């Protein structure tokens, strides 16, 4: 991992040492330049707002530079309206199926589909 930022939850027990070895780019949203300085091959975000207006940068800005992006579908699908302000508004609850779908999607993006399926 080239870097990390904006953790909203504690690091999972047992992963603290691995996490401590990843450069921390910022406590909240890093600047676009700070992310680019880390020379990422791929940028992921949990929230639409991170890779959108008022966030680090628009996804298109990264993609123009050849850096693919991924935004957690749990923040933009499954009945969530992010244009309502704040953290968005859900018209229906997030399901475990959506969470497992995200695990499978990220596993596919990193070429470890079998591991994602087992998880």
pLDDT of residue 43: 95
Q: Domain ranges in the chain?
A: 1-71, 73-119
What Å distances lie between residue 50 and 53, 69, 87, 100, CA to CA? 8, 11, 11, 22
pLDDT of residue 64: 96
CATH number for the region 1-71 comes to 3.40.50.1980
Q: Residues with Cβ < 8 Å from 22, sequence gap 6 or more?
A: 1, 3, 4
The pTM of this model reads 0.79
d(CA 93, CA 11): 24
Q: Is the pLDDT of residue 44 over 70?
A: yes
pLDDT digit string, tens, across residues 58-100: 999 999 999 999 988 776 666 666 666 656 666 777 788 888 9
Q: Is the pLDDT of residue 50 over 80?
A: yes
């Amino acid at each position: 991992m080239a870097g990390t930022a904006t953790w909203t939850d504690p690091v999972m027990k047992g992963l603290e040492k691995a996490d401590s070895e990843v450069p921390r780019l910022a406590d909240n949203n890093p600047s676009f330049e700070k992310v680019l300085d880390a020379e990422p091959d791929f940028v992921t975000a949990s929230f639409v707002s991170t890779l959108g207006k008022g966030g680090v940068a628009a996804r298109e800005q990264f993609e123009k530079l050849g850096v693919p992006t991924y935004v957690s579908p749990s923040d933009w699908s499954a009945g969530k309206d992010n244009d309502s302000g704040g953290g968005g508004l859900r018209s229906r609850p997030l399901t475990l199926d959506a969470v497992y779908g995200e695990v499978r999607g990220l596993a596919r993006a990193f070429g470890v589909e079998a591991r994602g399926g087992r998880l």
